[in-house]
A and B are shown apart, each in its own frame.
Chain A
């Protein structure tokens, strides 16, 4: 039988309500990427990870476990799992993230921080006080739990006297820039993706010549929710990457299937395979700008395609 929708959503919502994240991870793991960077604590402008990159290795591990449960008799025990989860965090037992994956995703955040520093942007970080944005629970329609959490996130920013937030992924960008203002009266944070911040600081020199052909996969949320389509292309071109467009791109990009991952892992993988086929028709080198897109597409592509986060391309060209 498929995963029971209500109880699976219930576990995620309970986690957000009780533990401030859909998939609670230790604070030391969430902030590990920042070690040695000497980023100031807080400040008027902060880099806000929303924990998305840090969560991906855990999501991949959970997804693997879910794939075994889906369509098996074990799905009957999800309700029991929800009851236990109210007392003990069961995701901590289910998810054993791969170490190499953690190193890679932490490295992407390090790359983003370095790119901003190299561009002359001054920013701080909230370290263990940073909270997950609540994006998944919002998408699943658990609005009451989400609204309460959003207010807590906003209060954290207020307490730290933050005025400008630089985000690193599309889902967090959308939550803080477009969804929170609808829920929170007097919301006054200025929210921008690091891609926008970097792109506006590019010199007007234009493209660097002689780069590799790389097919671009636009995030649905960046392209259709936040209208962020050009900054990533400008940055890649300036870094000497020859950006190639797949059949569906920009405003009409094809979803990676990732949003179905929490409830329908098999469907998510099927959708990803269709997108990978489109991408591979153009190039075996691909670029993504959302960690969910990256992990979902890579799972479908296997070793046949080299997919990398945009930060890996940009930092690689500057090294």
Chain B
């Protein structure tokens, strides 16, 4: 059973800068991730957009594993601000 929080995207403070909706789910980010993180960023951003707050919290270790190295970002065809999105989620989790 998945619980959905429709207001989650708004609760992720600084939601204006959280541009995950631009993600086309192509998977380039996962393919080039030097940490080999399959979840980040595409699946994670879907969890946020769908309001699956528990799923995001369950994956906090993965969120903090991200190097913020932007290898995904320079390869992203949709121009998603992946590193800043991940940092925004960290802010939300720590709060």
Contacts and interface: CB of A to CB of B under 8 A. Distances in A.
Interface of A: 2, 5-6, 9, 138-143, 220, 224-225, 251-252, 254-255, 257-260, 263-264, 267, 271, 274
Interface residues of B, number: 22
Contact of A264 (B65, B87, B93): B65
Contact of A260 (B35, B60, B87): B35
A264 B62 CA distance: 11
Given A2-B61, A141-B87, A260-B35, A220 B93 contact: no
Contacts of B35: 260, 267, 271
Contacts of B20: none
27 contacts: A2-B61, A5-B64, A9-B64, A139-B68, A139-B87, A140-B64, A141-B87, A141-B89, A141-B90, A141-B92, A141-B94, A142-B94, A220-B70, A224-B69, A224-B71, A224-B74, A252-B71, A252-B75, A254-B34, A255-B67, A257-B67, A258-B67, A263-B64, A267-B35, A271-B34, A271-B35, A274-B34
B88 A141 contact: yes
Interface of B: 34-35, 60-61, 64-65, 67-71, 73-75, 87-94
A6 B64 CA distance: 10
Name B's interface SS.
helix
A252 B74 contact: yes
A259 B66 CA distance: 8
Given A220-B67, A254-B71, 9 more contacts: A9-B94, A140-B64, A141-B88, A141-B90, A141-B94, A252-B71, A252-B75, A264-B64, A267-B65
Contacts of A274: 34
Nearest to A257: B67
Given A220-B67, A224-B74, A264-B65, A143 B34 contact: no
A271 to B, nearest CB: 6
Question: What are the nearest 9 A-B pairs in CB distance?
Answer: A141-B90, A255-B69, A141-B91, A220-B69, A224-B70, A259-B67, A255-B67, A255-B34, A143-B91
Nearest to B92: A141
Contacts of A258: 67
A296 to B, nearest CB: 11
Nearest to A251: B74
A281 B5 CA distance: 49
B74 A259 contact: no
B94 A6 contact: yes
A254 B87 CA distance: 20
Contacts of B64: 5, 9, 140, 263-264
A9 B73 CA distance: 25
Q: Among B34, B73, B75, B89, find the residue whose CB has the most chain A CB atoms closer than 10 A.
A: B34
